[in-house]
Structure formats: structure tokens, C-alpha cells
Structure 1
Amino acid sequence: MSILQQLGHLRIPLEDVKQATNNFSAENFIGYGGYGLVYRGELLHSDGLTMIAAKRVDPRFNHAEYHFLSEIEVLLSYKHANIVSLIGFCDEYDEKILVQGLVTHGSLDQYLGSTNLTWVKRLQICLGAARGLSYLHNGWEGQSVVHGVVKSRSILLDNTWQPKIGGLGLCMIGRVRPNIFVKDGFHTPGYVDPTYLKNGVITTESDVYSFGVVLFEVLCGREAFDRDMNKPFLGPLARTHYEKGTLSQIVDPFLTKQMNHESLKDFSAIAYQCLEKLGTARPTMIEIVQKLEKILRLQQDFERALAFQQVS
């Protein structure tokens, strides 16, 4: 019996998904998933009217059906406040559709240069995302998940700006600290682990490298790779500036005015460590969570002290 046959309680009729998304109209289109197009909608569900994101499998994508089944498996087994939630799926005729809760503020990449996200809020988002990845890495019943395509676009933000790890369709499930040979699907420019490019092996350390790039994106207010602007990859650029002591040249000036010096120093240090060329030299996601918790406390204490001085 296939996994879909075992999950009859999660099955959503195709007609209901069509009605929810206005028959997959252009107005309801919100982006590209790992293996298909994604549409927003309003679905009448057991919990009432629910905002959804419906990811429609496109068979032209390599191994699309496999990734669809893999994402269902992961979302069923790995439930966490910082991971997107599964509502159900559709499997009728030639249609396969994954239905998730809609994360209303979109993805982190949309806000990297925004003045609406303060330094504290950015730290909170990074910490939440790190907690979600740490949960995936550190296993459930002896297994762990390698996300494989960690980037600011796969970190989604709900209506309270809580981050949710999405884009799990290309993930790999294996033993804790797996070594998995991967042939394709993990070539996101600007985020990919150099070790993977060299030997084709992707591990939890590869996710850590990609997350380090995301940390620098948050710090510098720009994406890792911008084809339109023809800028260099942010990861190697940030490493060079960090080593030369000139990181201030690429940090977002809007954030510099808000930062406690210690929080900036510690944040840039952990981001740099994530980009170590040797995977085993990189911190684990557990260690990153601990560091970010400390950095957030430093910044919050700084801001409370500053506010007290202004009142006094």
C-alpha cells in the first residue's frame, strides 16, 4: 500500500482545490516550488475557512512525483513551530497537489532590504529558522533530514513574522549525520556548499553552509546572488571582508545604527564559521541556535538600557 493510500484522511478532492484557487488562476499564483507552481486560496476545511498554498506537481520537473511524496512524508513526521504545516493533498486523475497552510508574508528574500525589519526582528527570524533546521537535522526516531536547498526564499514568514522552513520537496531523509550522494537538484547559485560541488555528497553540514549565506543576507540586506545586478556571490565576498576586517563596508547601514557592537561581532563570527570550507569545521545547527539566542539577548538588553537612558 502506497503512502497516499494510507492517508485517506488527508485527501482533498480536486474540485475543492480548484474552487479554492479559482481554478489555478493567474491572480492566485504566488510562486515556484521545488517541483511545481504554487497557488494561494481559501479552502473550506474541517477547521473552517483556511488560507492555503497549493503546490501543483509539474511532471516536467525531474523526479517531481518522488519529491511530492518525500515532502508529504517529511511534513507528516516532522512537526515544529518553525516548519510549514501540511493540511492535505490531492491525487486525482493526472493531478498531484500538496496543500499547506498559507504563510501570509511570503519569503524572507522579499524583505532583506526592508526597513520594516529591525535588527531585533531579523535576529528573531534567524533564530526561529535555525530552530526549525536544528529540529530537522537532529532526528526523529533515529533519522534526520537534510534540507538541501536552504536559502532566504525557503524561509517563509507568517502574519506575526514567525519563520517557517519550507521548500522541503528536495530534502533527503537518512541516518543522523548522513552522507548522501546526490546527482542533481541542489545547484542553487550562491548558496551551494563548495564541498558538494567538489564531490557530490550533501550532508547536514551543507545546510549549515547555506544557512551561513542566509545569515549574511540578513546582515547585508541583499540576496546571495542577484543576476540582474550582476553582483558577486555574497558568501565568498563576506568571507573576504570578514578576514580583512572590512565587513562594515557591506553591512546594511540601516542595521548598523541599531546594533550593539557585541551582537554584530558575534553574529558575523557565527555566520563566518558556517562558511568554513571544511564541513566538519562548521558549527552544528544546535550550536548556531545557542549562539543566536545569546546574540538576541545581548541586543535586547542593549535596547532596553538605551530606552531607560532616554527616559531618564
Structure 2
Amino acid sequence: MASTITEFSHLQMPLEDILEATNHFDDKNVIGHGGLGKVYKGKLLRFGKLVNIAARRLDTKHKRGIEFWTEISAISNEKVIINKHEAKRSLVMYLSNPTLSWVQRLKICVGVARALSYIHYENGRSYSVLFSEAIGTTGYMDLTIQKTGGVTYKSDIYSFGVVLWEVLCGRKAFMPNCFNRLLVPLAKFHFEASTVNAIMLTWLLQNRLSLDSVQIFTSVAYSCLKDERVLRPDMNNIVYELEKALEFQLPYEIYIVRY
């Protein structure tokens, strides 16, 4: 454990800096809620530059969290994950927005997939297993965690698969007031029945879509949700498939040229 703590010691920062950046975790700065707690926006001075950040603060009722390393929990009292925050709004705000075209949605998915691929292979996450209690946001969490107690990179892939279906269907993974509250079983049912069109965004179907693009996209999204982790693809393969889906769609885009 000591070697791991040393390895990540450069990522630690004074709590006072985070408190100042988020105005002492003021509720006015809340930009989201996750299974582990609230997410706060803020501005943090790092290396002489003011950087927009998103601070995920672990709720005190969760003594352990699958997204927080055990080593970090052992050496800190206040548990906050800091990320650079570049987007003014979350993707969830645009899921059903018709201004976000199919090509734009594909580009977003490719970008996220590349980032996850980097984390898995450049930071060695694909070789690690974390055993902890099952804690996560409803609708996104790999159900296998509840059976095995272990979290691996294939758990990330499950959650990413859920996001892919959100992008295609224009709805959140969990909608408590909806008849089909959970998106995953709905997506699986319609994919296996070859009726994905029934849950796709209606306005997407009214646009010029490459059938190959949609087929590739839905196939990879479905494979991410496989119950057996070994059957789920790795991120490099997902990146390849999503880039191919994007490539098939590009010729269908209409460009308006002004002279």
C-alpha cells in the first residue's frame, strides 16, 4: 500500500484550496448528483492558472466507495475527487435535444471511449481489481459487482454501454417516474427483438441515418452490457467500432455552403 500511496501523492491537494474553490461546498455550486455524493463546480488556482474544476465529494454515509482508492481513503479524512471541468453543461442536458445531431453524438462517444481507453491501458487500470461494497448511481452500475464484490475495467465498460444507449434513446438510464424506469433491460429487450427503432429518438429516425452506423453502434452498446464480463469488449475495440460507425455516417451529413 505504501508504494501506491507514494505513487499518487502528487495528486493530493490541501482541503483549504478546494474549500476556497467551491466556496465551502456551497449548494449554489452544485452541478450534479452521483451515487457517492454531490458534484460542485469551482475555480482552482493551479500552477499560476485559474482552472475550472468539478469536485466530487464523497457523502459521509458512504464509508467506502468503488470510485475511491482504498489507499486514498486510508490517508485522508475528507474525500474529494477533482476533475478539470470544461463543459458548461452536462451531456445529460442535451440527450433529447434535436440540435445535437447523430454525428455530434457519435463524436462525443468516440471522445469518451478514447479517454477511457487511455485510462485503462496507459494507467494500468485493466490489470487491477478493487474489492468493495457495491455503491454507484442507479442504472449505471455493473450488476456483477453485487455478485462478486469486485470492480474491474469491465465495470467501466458496462457503465459506458449504458451511456451509449442514453445517447441513442435520448433519455436517462434511470427515470423513477417512468413505466420503464431502467434503460438497460429496455435496451436489451429491443436489441434482441430487432426493434431498436422503437426506443430511438424519434427525430433521429426522421433524419438521414446510415443503417450501418446505427447497427454498429447498437451492437457495441449491447455487447457492453453482457452479464458475463469476459464477453464484454475492451475499450480499444469499442473505440474502433465507434470510429467506424462515425465513418459510415459522415457521408450522410448535409453541408450548406454559402457563396
Same fold (TM over 0.5): yes
The AA in structure 1 aligned to 2:115 is: G
Q: Deviations over 1:221-258 (max 9, x none)?
A: 11122112242422221121122221111110122233
Aligned residue for 1:106?
89
1:134 aligns to what?
117
Give distance in 2, aligned partners of 1:96 and 1:196.
22
Structure 1 residues 286 and 249, CA gap change in structure 2 (3 angstroms) = same
CA separation of 1:46/1:187 partners in 2, compared to 1, >3 Å: closer, same or farther? closer
- Secondary structure of 2:53's counterpart equals strand
Asked if 2 retains the 8 angstrom alpha-carbon contact of 1:127 and 1:289, the reply is yes
Tell me the distance in 1 between the aligned counterparts of 2:55 and 2:136.
24
Per-residue deviation at 1:220?
A: 0.6
Can you give the 5+ residue segments of structure 2 that lack an aligned partner in the other structure?
none
Query: Which residue does 2:125 correspond to in 1?
Result: 144
Hey, which of these two has a bigger chunk of strand by percent? Answer: 1
User: Do the aligned residues in 2 keep the contact of 1:224 with 1:233 (CA within 8 Å)?
Assistant: yes
Match of 1:138, SS state, is helix
8 Å CA contact 2:41, 2:85 repeated in 1: yes
Q: In the alignment, what sits opposite 2:25?
A: 24
1:125 paired with 2:74, answer: no
Cα distance in structure 2, aligned partners of 1:232 and 1:45: 42
Q: Using the alignment, how far apart are the partners of 2:6 and 2:104 within structure 1?
A: 39
The code of the aligned residue for 2:169 comes to C
Would the aligned equivalents of 1:112 and 1:218 in 2 still touch at CA under 8 Å? yes
**Match among 283, 295, 298 for residue 233 of structure 2:** 283
**Structure 1: gaps (5+ residues):** 73-90, 146-175
1:221 matches 2:170: yes
Residue 270, structure 1, aligned to residue 220, structure 2: yes
Measured in 2, the distance between the counterparts of 1:282 and 1:123 equals: 20
Identify if the C-alpha distance between structure 1 residues 42 and 263 changes in structure 2 by more than 3 Å, giving closer, same or farther. Answer: same
Distance 1:36 1:287, change over 3 A: same
Quote the residue 1:261 is aligned against. Answer: 211
Post-superposition CA distance 1:256-299 (Å, at most 9, x none): 23322211111112112222333222221111100111111111
Match of 1:295 among 245, 252, 258: 245
Residues 5 and 215 of structure 1: CA distance in aligned 2, closer, same or farther (over 3 Å): closer
C-alpha distance in 1, partners of 2:85/2:48? 14
Q: Distance in 2 between matches of 1:124 and 1:243?
A: 26
For residues 47-92 of structure 1, the C-alpha deviation after alignment (integer angstroms, 9 at most, x for no partner) is 333323334454432136x9277679xxxxxxxxxxxxxxxxxx7x
Distance 2:51 2:211 in 1: 43
2:142 equivalent among 185, 193, 197: 193
Q: Which residue number corresponds to residue 184 of structure 1?
A: 133
TM-score normalised by length of structure 1: 0.68
SS at match of 2:167: helix
Which residue number in structure 1 is paired with residue 13 of structure 2? 11
Instruction: Measure how far apart 1:126 and its partner are.
Output: 0.7
Partner of 2:200: 251
- SS state at 1:206 partner: helix
Deviations 1:12-59 (A, max 9, x none): 461x44443333323223234564443322334433333233344544
Shift of 1:96: 5.4
Match of 2:63?
62
- Kept in 2, the 8 Å contact 1:263–1:298? The answer is yes
Q: For residues 211 and 20 of structure 1, do their structure 2 counterparts lie closer, same or farther at Cα, with a shift above 3 Å needed? A: closer
SS in 1 for 2:125: strand
Closer, same or farther in 2 for the Cα pair 1:266/1:5, shift >3 Å? closer
Paired residues, number: 253
Structural RMSD (CA):
3.4
Partners of 2:32 and 2:40 within 8 A in 1: yes
